[in-house]
Structure 1
Amino acid sequence: MTQRLDGYCERLTVSVANERFIAPGELNDELAHLPVSDRYWLREVVLYGDGRPWLFGRTLIPRQTLEDAGIDLTKIGDVPLGRYLFQHDALTRDYIHTGLCDGLWARRSRLCLSGHPLLLTELFLSEAPLYLMDSREG
């Protein structure tokens, strides 16, 4: 998604809203999509295209994935997660679900990095190019 959004703006930036470890009790229905863990890395960001908020992203990573995947996803800072993850050959997608939430499109993907899962939820905000009629995409 990062690469696609890049094509709609001069500058794509990330604002990290929240990054921290959380306990399983702090998860909602997301827990059903992840293996049991004593804690999870939570990363919540907003992606901006030329200063306009386009996407809210929420990533949950079990501790075991952080330890076993061979890369430190807790230190990527303001780098878009997609830019960081999709440079690794060992990344696969188990599934992707899409739907509407209060009139906004959302999607949830379970990704695996070297066989270790993480959950990415994306909410496309009202100013996202997704909602614009674009002749380039028909």
Structure 2
Amino acid sequence: MKTASPSPFLDAELMWQPLARVRPPDPLRSWLAEGGSLTRRLQGHGQFSVEPLYQKISRPTAVEAMLLGLPMGRWALIREVLLRVDGQPVVFARSVLPLRSISGANRVLGHLARRSLGAELFKLPRATRRAVWAAQVPQSRLPLPVSESCWGRQSLFIKRAMPLLVAEVFLPGLPR
């Protein structure tokens, strides 16, 4: 892990809106609306890798807790990674996994290291995506220098009846 603390992504709540209400630029629409495995789609563009940045049991933000149906103050595994294609960072991802969601048959979700969470979510039994929100993320909230604000999506998944939240911010190097 490279950072000892979460990214500035946490500093203030983003204005997440239902995906149907936002108007991102054309090249990003298909990425934001991707219903299948983002990992699989990125693998189709070159050598895919996961760079862990941060992983710790911590408290989710107030909005994250609300979206997960967690009482305030409950703990979750917070994981932040960069997804790379051919060495180029293309997605910053933040996952919030309530502790009850990484027990039993879902235990593997809490021990991914350099593996993709997406690859696990789409293994049988596949997780279901219950909701998708989108937001424009200011460059100051990202853990690497970018020249512009970026679009992201946040999805509520259910895997074996347990909730988890995944935010993915699409970086300027994303294949178009």
| TM class, shorter-length | 0.7 to 0.9
Unaligned residue ranges in structure 1 (runs of 5+): 133-138
Name the counterpart of 2:44.
Answer: 7
Q: Secondary structure at the match of 1:117?
A: strand
Residue pair 1:109, 1:119 contacting (<8 A) in 2 also: yes
Instruction: Describe the superposition over 1:107-136 as per-residue Cα deviations: whole angstroms up to 9, x where unpaired.
Output: 00000011110000000011111xx3xxxx
| Aligned counterpart in structure 1 of residue 93 of structure 2, from 38, 57, 79 | 57
| Aligned counterpart in structure 2 of residue 48 of structure 1, from 74, 81, 84 | 84
Residue pair 1:19, 1:42 contacting (<8 A) in 2 also: yes
Question: Across the two proteins, how many residue pairs are aligned to each other?
Answer: 127
Instruction: Describe the superposition over 1:54-74 as per-residue Cα deviations: whole angstroms up to 9, x where unpaired.
Output: 000000011111125533212
> Relative to structure 2, which stretch is displaced further, 71-80 or 58-67?
71-80
User: Partners in 2 of 1:2 and 1:71 — Cα distance?
Assistant: 20
**RMSD of equivalent CA atoms:** 1.6
User: Partners in 1 of 2:166 and 2:86 — Cα distance?
Assistant: 23
TM-score, normalised to structure 2, is 0.67
Greater strand share, 1 or 2? 1
Q: Pick closer, same or farther for the CA change 1:90–1:48 going to 2, 3 Å.
A: closer
Matched, 1:67 2:103: yes
User: Partners in 2 of 1:35 and 1:66 — Cα distance?
Assistant: 16
User: Partners in 1 of 2:106 and 2:167 — Cα distance?
Assistant: 22
Of all paired residues, the percent bearing the same amino acid is 28
TM-score, normalised to structure 1, is 0.84
Which consecutive segments of 4 or more residues in structure 1 shift more than 6 A? Answer: none
Higher relative contact order (CA 8 A, sep 6+): 2
Unaligned residue ranges in structure 2 (runs of 5+): 1-37, 139-148
Name the counterpart of 1:120.
Answer: 166
